[in-house]
Structure 1
């Protein structure tokens, strides 16, 4: 019976987080209210408080969830990209695999990190794990590079991806194919030491 109760508890938490993600992607962490989350989840506020002691706990769990999903996405998809255009163009197949709701939540998370040390810590911890995973994944792709050169290259790729994530709702016509070719050439050289 205990296992069934724990399973039900986790299912309810996930229902609440899913509802919160929808609310937060529309209104932001500070714009969405507990009433919004209650309405979206179909649960009363009192029921929600059985699973999370505060809105801040829901925000924290949502941030953790989105950051882990983002890291898992990057760990799976970034090593498969062989072109800078694939990661810089927000209309590429790479980005179509990361849903718009999650893009909004990621942008909201980055914004929250600028004013919340706890969120910065969550991002830093997950990035450290991601770097370890990507370093291993890229070892076979760039065997000629030292581990430090590989790390620098991965960090540059992550900066590019984060930049695209942050400008996801901006001007799509600002990319130049010549500039993309130049960036690809830079990434293919052994200049990162």
Structure 2
């Protein structure tokens, strides 16, 4: 029997992930069956089950792909001589996820909604969110160590807010259509420009 290369195995996993992602985005997690995944990918049940025994396994793999991609963005940021500002890190991470994984934006919304009825799925997403908040918290600590941010700021609190910015932007893309990642950069940069030394102009009657 011919030996299958690691490249072929990864290509097949990617084919299944992307096909399932299209199904989940179109019909929701609950409304998608494994039969739908077989049909979408053009693969037999045996071929799909060889890699993924269930829909939950596919979602866990999708979440793992997101985490690995985002972790790479944060690792690069933390290893840089100049730790990038939040607007740079967030936009870079979102761009990497889109270019590497190519998930349709509605998929994320569908999966979040389904987590309220599926505890296994909720656990996967909680782990993913916890990892993202942890990554942001490490960035905040780096800012504090470099004197860029006050040390009395709670790193996890900042991490949760920045993670929420990413979630909100993804939701807007799903509902409103394409939004350029430069919107994230410009928006966060604008918020960071607020300074007590620049009071608002006096109002006119």
- Of 76, 82, 85, which residue of structure 2 is paired with 1:82? 85
Q: How far apart are the structure 2 equivalents of 1:167 and 1:120?
A: 22
| 1:98 to 2:97 alignment | yes
Q: Deviations over 1:26-66 (max 9, x none)?
A: 3322333333321232222354445544xxx2x21222122
What is the 5 A alignment of 1:114-193? 114-143=116-145, 144=147, 145-146=150-151, 149-171=154-176, 183-185=191-193
Aligned length: 174
CA pair 153-43 structure 1, distance change in 2 beyond 3 A: same
Q: Tell me if structure 2 keeps the 8 A contact 1:24–1:32.
A: yes
TM-score by length of 2: 0.61
* Partner in structure 2 of residue 68 of structure 1: 64
Q: How far apart are the structure 2 equivalents of 1:84 and 1:9?
A: 37
More helix by share: 1
Q: Tell me if structure 1 keeps the 8 A contact 2:73–2:92.
A: no
Q: Which structure: larger Rg?
A: 2
**RMSD (Å) for aligned C-alpha atoms:** 4.1
Gaps of 5+ in 1: 188-193
* Partner in structure 1 of residue 20 of structure 2: 20
Q: How far apart are the structure 2 equivalents of 1:181 and 1:48?
A: 44
Q: Deviations over 1:59-111 (max 9, x none)?
A: 21222122223333443446576365995xxxx67644433625332222211
Gaps of 5+ in 2: 78-82, 196-205
TM-score by length of 1: 0.64
Q: How far apart are the structure 2 equivalents of 1:81 and 1:139?
A: 13
Q: Tell me if structure 1 keeps the 8 A contact 2:23–2:36.
A: yes
CA pair 138-35 structure 1, distance change in 2 beyond 3 A: same
Q: Tell me if structure 1 keeps the 8 A contact 2:73–2:93.
A: yes
Match of 2:144, SS state, is coil
Q: Tell me if structure 2 keeps the 8 A contact 1:67–1:106.
A: no
